[in-house]
Amino acid sequence: MRKLDLREDWGNYLKEATDEELAEAALLLHSFKRKRNGDYSTFVGALFGMERDFDEENGTLTLTVQNSTLLNNSIGILHGGLTATILDSTMGTLANNSLPDDKAVVTTEMKVNFLKPGIGDAFRCVANIIHKGSKIIVVEGKVFSENHKLIAHSTGSFFIINRKR
C-alpha cells in the first residue's frame, strides 16, 4: 500500500534525522496541516507562513514571512529567488485587492534589486501602488529584515485580466 509505505518511509527518515532535519520536517508538516485546514491556498504560502496585513488608510499591504533553513541558498542566507517570491506575492496580492471581484492580475515583469543578505527569524514585505492604470498596475515592494534593514527593493507590472469563474 502506498500510504503505508510512505508512512514507513517518513518514519525511517525521521528516525535518523539531525536536529536541523527534524525542525525542517516539523515545519513542513505544520505547513501541510495549515494548507489542509484552508489557512493557505498554496504550499508556498504555507511554507513561508505568510501573514497579511492591509493598511486601508495608506493603501499598503504588509506580508510577514517566517525564515527557516528551508529558504536558504547554499551560503546560508535567504535565496534570492525566494526573496522575489515574497515580493511577487505581496505586490500581486495588493494589485488584486485594488480591483473588483471579477478582475485579477498576472505579473508581466518585475525587477528586484538585492541590497543586503537576508538573515534573521522573519522578514516583512511592504507593497504600495505606484500607478493604477486601466490595463496595468505598477507596484513597488520592499523586503525588510527583522531589524528593519531594507534587504531588497522591487517594482513590477501587473496586467489586469478578467477573472475566470
Chain residues that interact with its own copies, rule: CB under 8 A: 2-3, 6-7, 9-11, 13-15, 17, 21-22, 24-26, 28-29, 32-33, 36, 41-44, 69-75, 79-82, 84-89, 92, 104, 106-116, 130-131, 133, 135-136, 138, 140, 150, 153, 155, 157, 159, 164
> Residue 46 Cβ, how far from its own copies at the closest point, in Å?
10
> Residue 120 Cβ, how far from its own copies at the closest point, in Å?
17
44 versus 119: smaller Cβ distance to its own copies: 44
Give the Cα-Cα-Cα angle 83, 139, 34 (nearest 5 degrees): 50
58 versus 133: smaller Cβ distance to its own copies: 133
**147 - beta bridge partners?**
none
**What are the Cα distances from residue 110, in Å, to 19, 89, 152, 154, 156?**
37, 12, 12, 7, 4
Half-sphere exposure at residue 133, Cβ-oriented, CA atoms within 13 angstroms? 10
Handedness of CA 36, 37, 38, 44 (dihedral sign): negative
CA distance 107 to 137: 9
> Residue 92 Cβ, how far from its own copies at the closest point, in Å?
7
75 versus 101: smaller Cβ distance to its own copies: 75
